[in-house]
Each structure stands twice: as structure tokens, then as C-alpha cells.
């Protein structure tokens, strides 16, 4: 009896560890000039106060975007609360945009993105935790 109870704990522990590992690291999404639009969902905010415009963000990026070749891309975020979009890039540069009262929670960042990996943080100025949709569209 005691032996079977101990073995029932093992699968539960493994499942918990794997679930936490998924939260700790963001999925890498590859984008090329010929890619179709990519839609990503998540929850904004976190406990880490970002000193730039991002408000409160998670300790790790919500998403990691791998731009496979220099590309014209549009990042569009739609979310509830007071969302912010922070993208840190290849050469240490950071782009951060806040939604304002006129945008209805929508943020757009178009531009030319050079090849490399970008960390995307979806924050909230009021430390809220709200659902969002991020689309990345080659243009």
C-alpha cells in the first residue's frame, strides 16, 4: 500500500515540473519576409517594475521572436487594462509603446527588423493581468 502511494506522487511531480518549465521560458517563433501573419495569445503584466514605459512585466519574455532575415514587420497588440508592448532587440535596443485612451487598448509598432532574436514583453501600467492577442505581420 505505502509503495503505491509513493509512486502516485511521481507522475504528479513530473507534470508540475514540466508545467512550470513552460511558464519560465517563452516559445521561439520564427518569422521571415515570406511568413504569413502569426497570432499569439497570453496574459499581460507581471511583478517586475520596468523602468521604461512598460509598467509591470514578467521576469521572462512573453514571446521570443526569431527574425530569420531582415524584414518589414508590424507588431499589433490588442489587450484589456493598460497594456504596454516592450520589444528588446539584437543590439540591445528597446522599443516600448503604451496604449492610450484613444487607442482602445491597441498598440502598433511597424518597422524594419534586422535578423536576430527579439524578446517581447507585454506589460500593464496598473500591474493588471489581462488577456491579449499579439499579431506579427510581414508587410
Residue 63 · residue 120 · CB < 8 Å = yes
Task: Determine the 3-state secondary structure of 45 from DSSP.
Answer: coil
Distance CA 4, CA 10 (A): 10
Question: What pTM was computed for the model?
Answer: 0.79
d(C-alpha 62, C-alpha 66), whole Å: 13
| Secondary structure (3-state) at 17 | helix
Q: Could you tell me the domains of the chain?
A: 26-138 (2.60.120.380)
* Per-residue confidence (pLDDT) for residue 2, from 0 to 100: 54
Segment 2-25 mean pLDDT = 41
Residue 83 pLDDT grade (very low, low, confident, very high; cuts 50, 70, 90): very high
Between 102 and 3, the more confident residue is 102
Cα(81)–Cα(61) distance, integer angstroms = 19
- Using the predicted structure, report yes or no on whether residue 103 has a pLDDT greater than 90: no
Distance CA 120, CA 137 (A): 15
Show Cβ contacts of residue 111 under 8 Å, excluding neighbours closer than 6 positions: 72, 73, 95
Q: How many residues does the chain have?
A: 139
Residue 45 has pLDDT above 90, yes or no: yes
Helix (H) or strand (E) holding 131, with range, is strand 131-138
Amino acid at each position: 500500500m505505502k509503495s503505491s502511494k509513493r509512486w502516485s506522487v511521481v507522475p504528479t511531480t513530473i507534470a508540475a515540473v514540466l508545467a512550470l518549465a513552460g511558464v519560465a521560458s517563452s516559445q521561439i517563433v520564427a518569422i521571415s519576409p515570406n511568413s504569413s501573419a502569426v497570432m499569439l495569445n497570453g496574459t499581460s503584466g507581471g511583478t517586475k517594475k520596468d523602468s521604461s514605459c512598460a509598467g509591470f512585466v514578467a521576469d521572462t519574455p512573453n514571446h521570443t521572436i526569431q527574425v530569420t532575415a531582415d524584414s518589414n514587420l508590424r507588431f499589433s497588440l490588442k489587450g484589456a487594462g493598460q497594456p504596454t508592448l516592450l520589444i528588446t532587440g539584437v543590439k540591445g535596443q528597446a522599443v516600448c509603446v503604451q496604449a492610450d485612451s484613444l487607442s482602445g487598448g491597441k498598440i502598433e509598432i511597424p518597422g524594419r527588423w534586422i535578423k536576430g532574436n527579439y524578446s517581447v514583453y507585454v506589460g500593464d501600467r496598473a500591474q493588471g493581468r489581462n488577456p491579449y492577442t499579439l499579431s506579427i505581420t510581414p508587410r
